[in-house]
Structure 1
Amino acid sequence: MTFTATALTGSKPEQYAQLLEQARGLMHGERDRIANAANLSALVYHALPALNWVGFYFFDGTELVVGPFQGLPACVRIPLDKGVCGAAAATRQTQRVPDVHAFPGHIACDSASRSELVVPLVAADGSLVGVFDLDSPEPDRFDEDDQHGLEALARAFLDSLA
């Protein structure tokens, strides 16, 4: 199967709706979490502006372990009590951080990162799967539209595993 990403147009919510449709098409019929995480990371990294890292960390029962991503090499393991990813995993709430340098315990995997959005991945049974993590070199890169759009993409990822 050949996948062709189309340019996103319209308002930011319209662009996220188009991106969600592309993501669902990309993951359709595939249930492997590594394959879907790899493709979703690439899709989002190339579709959205001003990102320097997009990827997944999976919960191994103790801590978050890096999964498929796009960007510079990343921290391999993140305890649940450290950084933005750990906060999202521990609280099971999306973390939208306008200035990572002001976030207590921020882990600087890439010194160029200035803002971050992390969506927790929680299965239907309530178990923690991991987190979907996006970094930007721009301060305050992520707004409410980004948060809603990326949470929808995270849900589509979780749905693909069911």
Structure 2
Amino acid sequence: MFKPVQYNDSLKDSYTTLNKQLDALLSGERDMTANLANASALLNQFLDRVNWAGFYLYKEGELVLGPFHGLPACVRIPLGKGVCGTAAAERKTIRVDDVHAFPGHIACDAASRSEVVVPLLKEGELLGVLDIDSPEKNRFTEEETLYLEEFVDVLVRHL
């Protein structure tokens, strides 16, 4: 049974605990949808000052909405469009301090001000992206972005 914990340690220690929880939560389950749903729920209870946390899955040349927590979202995003599509096309993490300054930003939620997108890559194959939005500018630090990449590494081992 999953029990929420308080993350009052350093950012590094909090993410270490989070990643251990993720690994235990997904252990033994192979269904991608179930694992992504639990991962987005775990992130939603862990992260503060965010308004959207979830996944877009790579299907037939575009990103399609997957499990998430937040307001209804854009359903399909072409590769190379917006932060998600660009991160997927370039297969690299993109952190944006002010989404309104990002060329071609797709505003699924008008309240979003900053965003971080981490590609889900398994053996070089693009599976999708983790997308997290915040209503605050400059919400995501470089350090936290690295920890989110570690979170995705743990997740991808279970997909």
**TM-score, normalisation: structure 2:** 0.98
Q: State the secondary structure of the residue aligned to 2:72.
A: coil
**Residues 25-65 of structure 1, C-alpha deviations (whole Å, 9 max, x = no match):** 11111111100100110111111110100000000031000
State the partner residue of 1:23: 22
Structure 1 CA distance, aligned partners of 2:49 and 2:88?
24
Structure 2 CA distance, aligned partners of 1:81 and 1:61?
14
Q: Percent identity?
A: 55
Ranges in structure 2 where 5+ consecutive residues have no aligned partner = none
Structure 2 CA distance, aligned partners of 1:56 and 1:132?
5
* Residue 7 of structure 1: how far off its partner (Å): 1.1
Moved over 4 A (4+): none
1:43 correspondence with 2:20: no
Structure 2 residue identity aligned to 1:28:
S
- The answer on whether the counterparts of 1:5 and 1:22 sit within 8 Å (CA) in structure 2 is no
Number of aligned residues: 159
1:150 correspondence with 2:139: no
Q: State the secondary structure of the residue aligned to 1:5.
A: coil
Q: Provide the aligned C-alpha RMSD in A.
A: 0.7
Structure 2 residue identity aligned to 1:85:
C
Structure 2 residue identity aligned to 1:135:
D
State the partner residue of 2:2: 3
Structure 1 CA distance, aligned partners of 2:150 and 2:64?
22
**TM-score, normalisation: structure 1:** 0.96
**Residues 46-102 of structure 1, C-alpha deviations (whole Å, 9 max, x = no match):** 111101000000000310000000000000000002100001100011000000000
In terms of mean alpha carbon deviation, does 106-115 or 141-150 score higher?
A: 141-150
Q: State the secondary structure of the residue aligned to 1:160.
A: coil
- The answer on whether the counterparts of 1:53 and 1:136 sit within 8 Å (CA) in structure 2 is yes
* Residue 144 of structure 1: how far off its partner (Å): 1.5
Structure 1 residue identity aligned to 2:134:
S
